Amino acid sequence: MARTPFAIGNPNGREVGPVLIPNNTEIAGIEVREQYGYGLIDTRLHFRNLDGSTIPGNPQTSWLTNNTNVSRTGAVLIPNDEVFIGLLVIEHHGYGIVNLRVKKRKRDGTIADYSEFLSPNMSSTGWYDVVIPNGAVAKGITGRDQGGYGLVDMAIDFEQ
CATH architecture designation of domain 2-159: Aligned Prism (2.100)
Phi, psi of 102 (to 5 degrees): -95, 135
CA distance 82 to 113: 10
Query: Which tens digits make up the pLDDT trace of 66-84?
Result: 999 999 999 999 999 999 9
When pLDDT is cut at 50, 70 and 90, the band that residue 148 belongs to is confident
Average per-residue pLDDT for the chain:
95
Q: Spell 66-100 as b/e; 16+ CB within 10 A means b.
A: ebeeeeeebebebeeebbbbbbbbbbbeebbbbbb
Query: Which tens digits make up the pLDDT trace of 14-57?
Result: 999 999 999 999 999 999 999 998 899 999 999 999 999 999 99
Q: List the strands of the sheet with 25-35, edge to edge.
A: 39-49, 25-35, 72-77
Strand partners, 130: 87
DSSP letters spanning 25-43: EEEEEEEEEEETTTEEEEE
Q: Which pLDDT score, from 0 to 100, does residue 108 have? A: 92
Segments making up each domain of the chain, as ranges: 2-159
When pLDDT is cut at 50, 70 and 90, the band that residue 150 belongs to is very high
Q: Which pLDDT score, from 0 to 100, does residue 47 have? A: 98
142: Cα separation from own chain's centroid: 9
Taking the model in full, what pTM does it have?
A: 0.94
Residues in contact with 31: Cβ distance below 8 Å, sequence separation at least 6, in sequence order: 43, 44, 45, 46, 60, 73, 74, 75, 118
Nearest to 25 by CA among 143, 138, 141, 155: 138
